[in-house]
Amino acid sequence: MNEELPELVGKRIYVCGKLHPQIRVAMREIEQSDSLFPDGSTEPNPPVRVYDCSGPWGDPDCHCTVEKGIPRMREPWIAARGDVEHTRSGALVAADCVKPPTQRSYASRGIITPEMEYVAIRENLGREEVYKAVYDRFPDRKSRPEEVQVMLDELGTGMPRPSELEKLDNFGPKSMQRRADIGYRHPADYAEKTGVHAPAYYTPEFVRDELAAGRALIPANINHPEAEPMIIGRRFLCKINANIGNSAISSDIRQEVHKLRRAVQWGADTVMDLSTGTDIHRTREWILRNSPVPIGTVPIYQALEKCGGHVEQLTWQIFRDTLLEQAEQGVDYVTLHAALLQRFVPFTASRATGIVSRGGSIMAKWMMIHDQENFLFTHWAEVCAILAAYDVAVSIGDGLRPGSIADANDFPQLAELEIQGDLTQSAWRCGVQVMNEGPGHVPLHLIPENMRKQMSWCHEAPFYTLGPLPTDIAPGYDHITGAIGGAMIAQRGCAMLCYVTRKEHLGLPDAEDVREAVVTYKLAAHAADLAKGHPAAQLRDNALAKARFEFRWEDQFNLSLDPQRAREYHDQTLPHANAKKAHFCSMCGPNFCAMKLSQEIRELHPDRS
Amino acid sequence: MNEELPELVGKRIYVCGKLHPQIRVAMREIEQSDSLFPDGSTEPNPPVRVYDCSGPWGDPDCHCTVEKGIPRMREPWIAARGDVEHTRSGALVAADCVKPPTQRSYASRGIITPEMEYVAIRENLGREEVYKAVYDRFPDRKSRPEEVQVMLDELGTGMPRPSELEKLDNFGPKSMQRRADIGYRHPADYAEKTGVHAPAYYTPEFVRDELAAGRALIPANINHPEAEPMIIGRRFLCKINANIGNSAISSDIRQEVHKLRRAVQWGADTVMDLSTGTDIHRTREWILRNSPVPIGTVPIYQALEKCGGHVEQLTWQIFRDTLLEQAEQGVDYVTLHAALLQRFVPFTASRATGIVSRGGSIMAKWMMIHDQENFLFTHWAEVCAILAAYDVAVSIGDGLRPGSIADANDFPQLAELEIQGDLTQSAWRCGVQVMNEGPGHVPLHLIPENMRKQMSWCHEAPFYTLGPLPTDIAPGYDHITGAIGGAMIAQRGCAMLCYVTRKEHLGLPDAEDVREAVVTYKLAAHAADLAKGHPAAQLRDNALAKARFEFRWEDQFNLSLDPQRAREYHDQTLPHANAKKAHFCSMCGPNFCAMKLSQEIRELHPDRS
């Protein structure tokens, strides 16, 4: 039942904070072997630092058990702020309603929290090490700041190998001109135009500024101190969410926790618990106490369970109690379908696929039965007050997202988006952190419009999309469909992609489906990060490309998003250990290996390399 | 060893030609079950016609054997033109060099061949049936041509259900205005701007015009009469190529033919035989005699085998003989790395990954050893004369395509692209059909530039890309990486995508890898066709979406790109036969099914549906 957990390649390291020295940001450092040259000489390759979501589960020195849960890392940070008190049930809650304990509120008040410094360090990845290498090599950097800058730009996109560093003296307007002549554009040129550009270096102050502006959020409920801070915003690394959760049809609690661990070890940045079956509260408790990443939920599912599945019995009171219960338990963000207004519902009747959001259809049916406005909308101020008191972020749902190409960008979808924008602003005023959910099924040519309208109508709040899926005809392959649309919208600024598994539209994903989906979405998000010119993104590509060119097979596997699979596929054709040192692979064989021929060409032109 | 061939869902039908009544264009027609309404009434759903590459292998009435090969469908068409004669070896060759027997030459001379009418019928798919249905319903169409046009536009993108048809009287400036208000754009608006728009209806004359302009090609060697005509051009359905071929490391002939059959049954539009091992000629003979799709090769591989793998022993004479041998055998298109000039090679030495094209690296090494210009470039006129005499199309290779993100859009790549453009024009002057090969590893933000420059520098000749792969860090998942880049470039006009399997960079693909890759690229190509506004593309999405919404599970499976997998995934959670009639699936269970709730809402608002 419980398939093995993925092996995490590389060494667990921790980078400490400066403003907040108690911070220890977990990363993995992937060691590389030396480059070997034809003359027998060697050259070391620097280790590559990668983002690591696995938390204590990924630290070989940390011996956690599912029963005990993982350490409560943020507990002292929260306590030190002195702005929370205990409820009767023992949970933490804001002591002062005017200054809520939310990351947004701190940011607005000019306070840089440990959470903010944590994510700044996390987002920089190996960037700092590269800077140090450059500076060490050119101690006179202060006299030539422009040239160093040019080189650093190149490093972010080019190959950080010593031969490049030595060319520093040749850098200047001319070589830049040659690049311009042939049409080269630095990703930042493109990214700046679309407002998705990352800074050259993440500072805690930059993080604070993005949070205060509402362009980013750090979902971090004060009752979920186990979670490591993680930022969602278009000027940061694009994040991905994995869904788990049992349904009335199958699954059990231990399996869900195991899925959680698999998801974060593969690289999920947040996990949504979408359980709808029995034991919702207990399942969530196990998940929260074991999760190093923020946990999201759709509270209406549990509220409906409390009504025995009878939509007509739902009330604001039942919902409010459920929201409070989840906030006290530690849920970091909740999807609320508050922008789905009563007057929009009839417009879905003529759609090809009506309403396809579970939460959306529950709210719609409730409004139809009672002929009343959405209670989440009418009680929005009360909702926001609850969220602010626990720093639960809100993900304003898109209950009317299109469920087919035919319905993309239609009136009900865009009408709801406009209301999402209004609710965003009022939630911000209460100090609540906000993101907006987006589609859904959208053909490629209509995707940019979704991003543009969301950015404009929702005041630059982070966008969080499910796909989009640019065709309906690929059930069984919809992880790929969604990755195509996801990469496209993330490149334009979508801050987080919700994964779609290959079982989407067909059945419940198993562990292998989760692996396939998480890696696929990491891939799509990374492709977007490259295009956005994130300063650290391309370092890993460059390292892998160099390993590939130099036939360092083990390094190539280790730097992959899924090292086990890369190794397994290689070994299917060439299983022997010495094939890992071969200067060819099974695709072309030794006589036709382009890489090998190309290296021979390099030897014929030593002056050019 | 030989895994089972995929089951082809639907009924094989043939559509006959009008200009050339002997033409019978194969398609598959997927029957659907009736829609069932809550009041017990039913409504039929029209069958959906899909493109079918499987040739005689896909016709249950055709009993072919691999040993005998498939019927030589085009033989009488070729003979009837009376412009070919037999060589001593028995192959066909042009009788008259001035008027070569190429589809380009016929098109330029204003001749509409059976091949041209064949592809026109093929590209229209089910479109004609939809038109007929509309016209039957509105016999007074001639008095209201504009309204019918508006409705046909809607049909191409909206839901072709009777309730839509009945709304015809309500169609007019106002409803269009509402669409415009909410930002709706017909794909054709977008597509026209970028020059990728398809006509509302494909006519043989339209095909001829595109061929004469060089914007499209029909690879159709006069010695490969088994192949069904297939068109490659940006204003047609985007095509995909699958690679097969043995290497020195593994594979055998029967396995290659089996791979070919699997590839075409899954939907590959062309197949490249990239064999490099022993028995190249015999392997290719088996493949050609059994292939209903055009076959491409890279002749330099065989030329090099004739030299025992010693690049220095390659000569123009050996190459020419090889090219002639393949032309007489029936190869439909050849990749020639003729645009890789000697002066570009040194620039690859400082690249991150040098030269990654096998053919490109062979030519580069030859030029370095002999200090001579590329013999394909210096003998281009002679090359073109050979190609024209057999109607072998040329796919001008991109030997310097980037092999990593770091090398994308660099000087050597773009320098070669410029020469590809020059060679395109001179090949056209000889009557040769041409396409250009493109990258490779390119980050998302640099993909549009590749398409723009190719379209401009290569005079709108069709572009045929490998990927592009927008990141280097996903070995084991590079079918997905390539599908992301492929969808993006195809949307902008790339005419054919060469598949990349998940074994790319790691090993040789097996049958299951081929299935996964072909379906993934069909998905990417289809997403691009939707965005390009191809008139028939969305009919299938709409039918599948409707089947999904109405819980017609079997129809949903059958309309999928991979029906077996869709069914298999569904059955993993709900294996019982009656689950195929259930009005929910295992993802949400009966109480949380959005589709079910949405249908209940529709029942509450019958007046709006």
B418-469 pLDDT, tens per residue?
Answer: 999 999 999 999 999 999 999 999 999 999 999 999 999 999 999 999 989 9
Using CB atoms within 10 A of its CB, is residue A138 exposed (0-12), middle (13-18) or buried (19+)?
middle
A406 at B interface, C-beta within 8 A: yes
The predicted structure's pLDDT at residue A113: 98
Question: Any idea which of A107-111, A433-437, B427-431, B545-549 has the lowest mean pLDDT?
Answer: B545-549
Place of tokens 């090809």: A352
The predicted structure's pLDDT at residue A147: 52
CA A221 to the chain's CA centroid: 18
**What residues does B436 pair with on adjacent strands?**
B396, B463
Give helix B253-266 / helix B280-289 axis angle, nearest 10°: 40
CB contact under 8 A, B483 and A488: no
With a cut of 90, say whether residue A341 has pLDDT above it: yes
Question: Any idea which of A152-156, A268-272, A543-547 has the lowest mean pLDDT?
Answer: A152-156
Distance from CA of B534 to the nearest CA of A (A): 12
Closest alpha carbon to B370 in B440, B435, B311: B311
Work out the number of other CB atoms within 10 angstroms of the CB of residue B96: 11
With a cut of 80, say whether residue A100 has pLDDT above it: yes
With a cut of 60, say whether residue B184 has pLDDT above it: no
Q: Which residue has the higher pLDDT, A351 or B306?
A: B306
A176 at B interface, C-beta within 8 A: no
- Beta carbons of A50 and A125 less than 8 angstroms apart: yes
Q: What is the mean pLDDT of residues A330-343?
A: 97
- Considering A48-62, A425-439, B240-254, the range whose residues carry the highest mean pLDDT is A425-439
A455 at B interface, C-beta within 8 A: no
The beta-carbon neighbor of A350 closest among B185, B248, B608 is B608
- Beta carbons of B417 and B458 less than 8 angstroms apart: yes
With a cut of 60, say whether residue A592 has pLDDT above it: yes
The predicted structure's pLDDT at residue B158: 34
pLDDT category at A454 given cuts 50, 70, 90 is very high
The predicted structure's pLDDT at residue A598: 77
Question: Any idea which of A447-461, A472-486, B153-167, B229-243 has the lowest mean pLDDT?
Answer: B153-167
pLDDT category at A371 given cuts 50, 70, 90 is very high
Using CB atoms within 10 A of its CB, is residue B99 exposed (0-12), middle (13-18) or buried (19+)?
middle
**What residues does A86 pair with on adjacent strands?**
A92
**What residues does B85 pair with on adjacent strands?**
B93
Q: What is the mean pLDDT of residues B67-82?
A: 96
CB contact under 8 A, A403 and B549: yes
Q: Which residue has the higher pLDDT, A256 or B360?
A: B360
Give helix B511-532 / helix A478-491 axis angle, nearest 10°: 50
Residues A161, B229: Cα–Cα separation, whole Å: 50
The predicted structure's pLDDT at residue B492: 94
The predicted structure's pLDDT at residue B147: 52
CB contact under 8 A, B507 and A365: no
CB contact under 8 A, B587 and A505: yes
The predicted structure's pLDDT at residue A594: 75
CB contact under 8 A, A355 and B601: yes
The predicted structure's pLDDT at residue A179: 39
* Cα-based angle A336, A482, A350 (whole degrees, multiple of 5): 60
Phi, psi of B26 (to 5 degrees): -80, 135
The beta-carbon neighbor of B561 closest among A411, A474, A593 is A474
Cα-trace Rg, chain B = 25
E-only strand ranges, A449-522? 463-466, 496-498
CB contact under 8 A, B508 and A184: no
Question: Mapping DSSP to helix (H, G, I), strand (E, B) and coil, where does residue B107 land?
Answer: helix
Q: What mean pLDDT is reported for chain A?
A: 86
The beta-carbon neighbor of A443 closest among B353, B445, B530 is B530
The predicted structure's pLDDT at residue B220: 98
pLDDT category at A132 given cuts 50, 70, 90 is low
Enumerate helices (H) and strands (E) in chain A, giving the number of each: 24, 17
Q: What is the mean pLDDT of residues A69-80?
A: 97
pLDDT category at B74 given cuts 50, 70, 90 is very high
Question: Any idea which of A178-182, A207-211, A285-289, A524-528 has the lowest mean pLDDT?
Answer: A178-182
Closest alpha carbon to A606 in A42, A38, A169: A38
CB contact under 8 A, A354 and B483: no
Ramachandran region, residue A463 (left: φ > 0; alpha: ψ -120 to 50; beta: rest): beta
Q: Which residue has the higher pLDDT, B260 or B593?
A: B260
pLDDT category at A575 given cuts 50, 70, 90 is confident
With a cut of 70, say whether residue A568 has pLDDT above it: yes
Residues B361, B154: Cα–Cα separation, whole Å: 50
Task: Give residues 47 to 76 of A whose Cβ lies within 8 Å of B.
Answer: none
Is the N-terminal amide bond of B44 cis, ω within 30° of 0?
no
Question: Any idea which of A142-151, A543-552, B277-286 has the lowest mean pLDDT?
Answer: A142-151
The answer for residues whose C-beta is within 8 angstroms of residue A459's C-beta and 6 or more apart is: A214, A421, A424, A425
Contacts B604 to A, Cβ<8 Å: 368
Segment A537-549, tens digit of pLDDT: 888 998 999 999 9
Q: What is the mean pLDDT of residues A157-181?
A: 35
The predicted structure's pLDDT at residue A470: 97
CB contact under 8 A, A598 and B557: no
Q: Side chain identity at A145, as an amino acid letter?
A: P
CB contact under 8 A, A470 and B410: no
Q: What is the mean pLDDT of residues B489-508?
A: 95
Q: What is the mean pLDDT of residues B171-177?
A: 36
The predicted structure's pLDDT at residue B189: 56
The answer for residues whose C-beta is within 8 angstroms of residue B286's C-beta and 6 or more apart is: B66, B253, B256, B257
B526 at A interface, C-beta within 8 A: yes
Find the residue in B nearest to A475 (Cα).
B566
Segment B566-593, tens digit of pLDDT: 999 999 878 777 777 776 666 666 666 7
Contacts A353 to B, Cβ<8 Å: 545-546, 548-549, 595, 598
The predicted structure's pLDDT at residue B254: 81
Question: Mapping DSSP to helix (H, G, I), strand (E, B) and coil, where does residue B41 land?
Answer: coil
Question: Any idea which of A157-166, B256-265, B463-472 has the lowest mean pLDDT?
Answer: A157-166
The predicted structure's pLDDT at residue A107: 98
With a cut of 70, say whether residue B323 has pLDDT above it: yes
A36 at B interface, C-beta within 8 A: no
B594 at A interface, C-beta within 8 A: yes
Residues A136, A561: Cα–Cα separation, whole Å: 31
With a cut of 50, say whether residue A451 has pLDDT above it: yes
The predicted structure's pLDDT at residue B59: 94
CB contact under 8 A, B184 and A355: no
Q: Return the structure tokens found at B298.
A: 């890279």
The predicted structure's pLDDT at residue A93: 98
With a cut of 90, say whether residue B214 has pLDDT above it: yes
Find the residue in A nearest to B473 (Cα).
A560
pLDDT category at A193 given cuts 50, 70, 90 is low
The predicted structure's pLDDT at residue A166: 36
Distance from CA of B149 to the nearest CA of A (A): 18
Q: What is the mean pLDDT of residues A64-86?
A: 95
The predicted structure's pLDDT at residue A139: 53
Task: Give residues 186 to 205 of A whose Cβ lies within 8 Å of B.
Answer: 187, 190-191
With a cut of 90, say whether residue A180 has pLDDT above it: no
Q: Do β-strands A92-94 and A84-86 pair in parallel, antiparallel, or remain unpaired?
A: antiparallel
With a cut of 60, say whether residue B167 has pLDDT above it: no
Question: Any idea which of A292-306, B127-141, B564-578 has the lowest mean pLDDT?
Answer: B127-141
The predicted structure's pLDDT at residue B168: 34
